[in-house]
A and B are shown apart, each in its own frame.
Chain A
Amino acid sequence: MFNFAFNSLYEALYMNGHGLYVWSVVILVFISLLGFFIGYTVKIKKIKDKLNEPN
């Protein structure tokens, strides 16, 4: 069940010509998730900083 499906790293990246499609989706998902995580963390930090400001 856990046999590596490719003979080399190049094969894993190229995926018989389908690598471009697969990896572009992986990158899209990674960037979207990371963007949202960073975005919300920054927003929360900003609002906390604003609330901590002396009036």
Chain B
Amino acid sequence: MSIIWGLFFTPEDFVQGNSYRIIYLHVPASFLSQTLYLAMAISSVTYLIWRVKLAAYLIIAIAPIGAMTTFIALISGSIWGIPTWGTWWQWDARITSTLILFIMYLGLISLHNSFSNHEKADKLLSWLVIVGAANIPIIKKSVDWWSTLHQSASITLTDKPSIDPVMLYPLIGSIIGFFGLMICLVLLSSKYQILHREKNKSWVRDYV
């Protein structure tokens, strides 16, 4: 609903014209790409400290969804860059660190799939996710630390939003909507992981 609100019921931007409407898909996707990685990092810590099996399943359940949101963020940003910056790609700090996040997601999925011993894979994956979490603050702060083509954040926790409320409300709505959709996807993916990993257990056969 919020995406429709943003696409059809918000006024045209004075500088960027109608291309700014990509914001209603690009911002939620990039916000979630980082949030999902943080969720993976929290699951990793939970798994390594308390050995909760479900946390390990959650890591590999989130990874493909995180890769998808990062892919959407990168592609939508590139498409937005053509009319706005005159180029689809620039090796600036924000874009490059997001590309690194995407490669990390793909690497973690490939690594997990390459192991036949699931327990070993879970342990290694958890450590790698924790190490890789260092990239999240780099992505977040890249626009402040370096001079980048990418604009700085329009919404922050500390300052007043630099975006007009008419455009801001549907943006917040689309972030919340995307968040809900991703929770549904993570639940589906987790269900698959549990069924796949526990398929030899009697409780799974009873459940099915």
Q: Residues on A close to B: CB < 8 A? A: 1-6, 12, 15-19, 21-22, 24-26, 28-29, 32-33, 36-37, 40-41, 43-44, 47-48, 50-52
Q: Which bracket fits the contact residues of B? A: 35 or more
Task: Report if B199 contacts A (CB, 8 A).
Answer: yes
> What are 29 pairs between A and B in contact, CB < 8 Å?
A1-B169, A4-B9, A5-B9, A15-B18, A16-B12, A17-B17, A19-B18, A21-B22, A21-B83, A22-B7, A22-B19, A22-B21, A25-B22, A25-B25, A25-B75, A28-B75, A29-B72, A32-B68, A37-B184, A37-B188, A40-B188, A40-B189, A40-B191, A41-B188, A47-B195, A50-B199, A51-B195, A51-B199, A52-B208
Chain B residues close to A by CB (< 8 Å) = 3, 5, 7-12, 17-19, 21-22, 25-26, 29, 64-65, 68, 71-72, 75-76, 79-80, 82-83, 166, 169, 181, 184-185, 188-189, 191-192, 195-196, 199, 204-205, 208
Q: Are B8 and A6 in contact (CB under 8 A)?
A: yes
> Inside 8 A of B169's CB, which chain A residues have their CB?
1
Q: Across the interface, do A40 and B195 meet the contact criterion of CB distance under 8 Å? A: no
Q: Which residue of B lies closest to A15 (CB)?
A: B18
